[in-house]
Amino acid sequence: MKDRDIHEVISILEDETSKWTETALTAVAEQTRRDPFRILIGTVLSLRTKDETTAAACERLFALAEEPEAMAALPEESVDRAIYPVGFHATKARNILEICRILVNEYQGIVPDDIDTLITLPGVGRKTANLVVTIGYGKPGICVDVHVHRISNRWGYIATKNPDRSEFALREKLPSEYWIRYNDLLVMYGQNLCKPVSPFCSRCRLSSFCDRVDVGKHR
């Protein structure tokens, strides 16, 4: 894909994804008026977990507590039970409680708004940090998960080996007006059409822009 094509590609993505259900984290953001704390916890829960499972776990956990102080006071067993069956639920329960304690003790219960500080929290990587900064605070950032990494490379827009490298490659070339919504668009596209294995290329309006890097079988 040529660099200049990205504007048309984004326009097509926005049109196509309007047909599909929004991601679980977008739903959390809208329901909580973009509360950085609940976006942070929701993103931690979403790692290695399907959207529908994440959404249900968020609903159960936030019914118990919506703020760091209240959540830090919950027994670990209660948090674990509320978030089950998200992936690695026991580890996430411990990390969530530790995150809450750190927020209360070191940041007056306020979620930091910069990536470098956020990634020092237990279980928080660059994907999570970028989502909190962009969705929670409306600041520039590019969240790169497996869908964003895979599709951006599949198009031939970037050529990288892992999501962290993809983030920095995209920071170099993706126009800044697309940074915040790029993740949401590609996650929905990856979940519904541009599948990891055997993508639906025959139904894809972006096929003329896509180099199909590493695509073997497709539909």
Distance CA 180, CA 131 (A): 8
Q: Among residues 127, 164, 214, 217, which one is catalytic?
A: 127
Identity at 105, one-letter amino acid code? N
CATH of the domain at 7: 1.10.1670.10
> What tokens were used for 153?
């490379």
**Tens digits of residue pLDDT in 137-188:** 999 999 999 999 999 999 999 999 999 999 999 999 999 999 999 999 999 9
In a domain, 208, yes or no: no
For 45, residues 6+ apart whose C-beta sits below 8 A from its C-beta are 54, 57, 58, 61, 83, 86, 92, 96
Q: Is residue 74 part of a domain?
A: yes
- Does residue 121 sit within a domain? yes
Domain assignment present for 99? yes
Residue 118 lies in a domain: yes
How many structural domains compose the chain? 2
Contact 28, 38 (CB under 8 A): yes
Same domain assignment for residues 40 and 111: yes
pLDDT in tens, 106-142: 999 999 999 999 999 999 999 999 999 999 999 999 9
Q: 120 in a domain, yes or no?
A: yes
The answer to the question of residue 8 being in a domain is: yes
Residue 34: per-residue pLDDT = 83
Q: Please check whether residues 57 and 93 belong to one and the same domain.
A: yes
Three-state DSSP state, 32:
coil
How many other CB atoms are found less than 10 A from the CB of residue 11? 10
Kindly state the tokens that stand for 172.
Answer: 């170099």
Mean pLDDT within 47-66:
93
Both 64 and 131 in one domain: the answer is yes
| Same-domain check for residues 92 and 126 | yes
pLDDT at res. 181: 92
Residues 50 and 74 in one domain: yes
**pLDDT value of position 198:** 93
- Residue 145 a catalytic site member: yes
Catalytic status, residue 139: no
Q: What is the 3-state secondary structure (H, E, C) of 115-182?
A: HHHHCCCCCCCHHHHHHHHHHHHCCCCCCCCHHHHHHHHHHCCCCCCCHHHHHHHHHHHCCHHHHHHH
Are 130 and 163 in a shared domain?
A: no
- Compute the half-sphere exposure of residue 19: CA atoms within 13 Å on the CB side of its CA: 8
Residues 110 and 55 in one domain: yes
Residue ranges making up the domain that contains 161: 3-21+141-203
pLDDT classification of 27: cutoffs 50, 70, 90: confident
> What would the two tokens of residue 87 be?
């992936």
Whether residue 54 is found in the same domain as residue 113:
yes
Q: Is the pTM of this model over 0.75?
A: yes
Residues 173 and 129 in one domain: no
108 and 179 belong to one structural domain:
no
The answer on 152 and 131 residing in a single domain is no
What are the tens digits of pLDDT across the range 63-80?
999 999 999 999 999 999
Shared-domain flag, residues 178 and 124: no
Point out the least confidently predicted range of 21-25, 55-59, 135-139, 173-177. Answer: 21-25
Residue type (1 letter), 119? I
Rounded distance, CA 155 to CA 16, Å? 17
Which of 35, 145, 173, 211 is flagged as catalytic?
145
Mention every residue, 6+ apart, whose C-beta is less than 8 A from residue 136.
29, 34, 35, 36, 39, 40, 111, 113
- Neighbour count for residue 9 (Cβ, 10 Å): 18
